[in-house]
Amino acid sequence: MELYLIRHGIAVERGLYDIDAERPLTDKGRKRTVAVGKRLKALEIHFDLILTSPLVRARQTAEILHSLDLSARMAISQNLAQEGNIEAWVAWLEHWRSALRSPQPPVNAPREPKQIQPTKLALVGHEPNLGEWAEQLLWGRSPNVRDSAERFIVKKAGVLGFHLPDQGSPLGNSQLFWLSPPRLLLP
């Protein structure tokens, strides 16, 4: 399974909205997100599902990716909100994987062996969560450091890609295969 962590695009500055969750993308944020999405499409990336934080800026980012046909499906997850919890997301992931592995065939349908295709899941969220989640996927924990030079930081509209194990917890058992700031994906 491939997991892509995608940070929301550039949003309106803090303090301009009474409620932080309502901050939308700026025009520049929309344009950059569209450009990154088009580059992902040119690289023939397609997600089985885009799962997004409920906050406006993340939802708008996910909607842009969805509108560029990077996925036919999009859903909102509280686990990706700023107070989100990776353990709750891992539980959701196991349930989702289980559902993918055992679909119910139609009544009277002939049983054929199911060929499992690699699954690609995109998570659209926020910092510092995505950086911390990346560390937990790789090392099983987030290092206890405050220095940002020693931490994963996902830039706005940046993308990280992980190979997740087929079975068991992805925490501490995943492999990083893609780390790309948005400037490397822009024309």
Q: For position 47, which CATH number holds?
A: 3.40.50.1240
Residues with Cβ within 8 Å of residue 40, at least 6 apart in sequence: 65, 68, 70, 159, 185
Residue 21 covered by a domain? yes
Count how many domains the chain has.
1
Helix residue spans in the chain (DSSP H): 27-42, 56-67, 86-101, 129-139
Cα(18)–Cα(21) distance, integer angstroms: 9
pLDDT digits (tens, 9 = 90+) for 33-59: 999 999 999 999 999 999 999 999 999
Q: Which two tokens stand for residue 79?
A: 């686990």
Residue 105 covered by a domain? no
Say what angle helices 27-42 and 56-67 make with each other, to 10 degrees: 40
Residue 104 covered by a domain? no
Q: Determine phi and psi for 149, rounding to 5 degrees.
A: -70, -20
Residue 141 covered by a domain? yes
Residue 111 covered by a domain? no
Domain that holds residue 142: 2-99+117-184
Confidence of residue 150 (pLDDT cuts 50, 70, 90): low
pLDDT digits (tens, 9 = 90+) for 57-82: 999 999 999 999 999 999 999 999 98
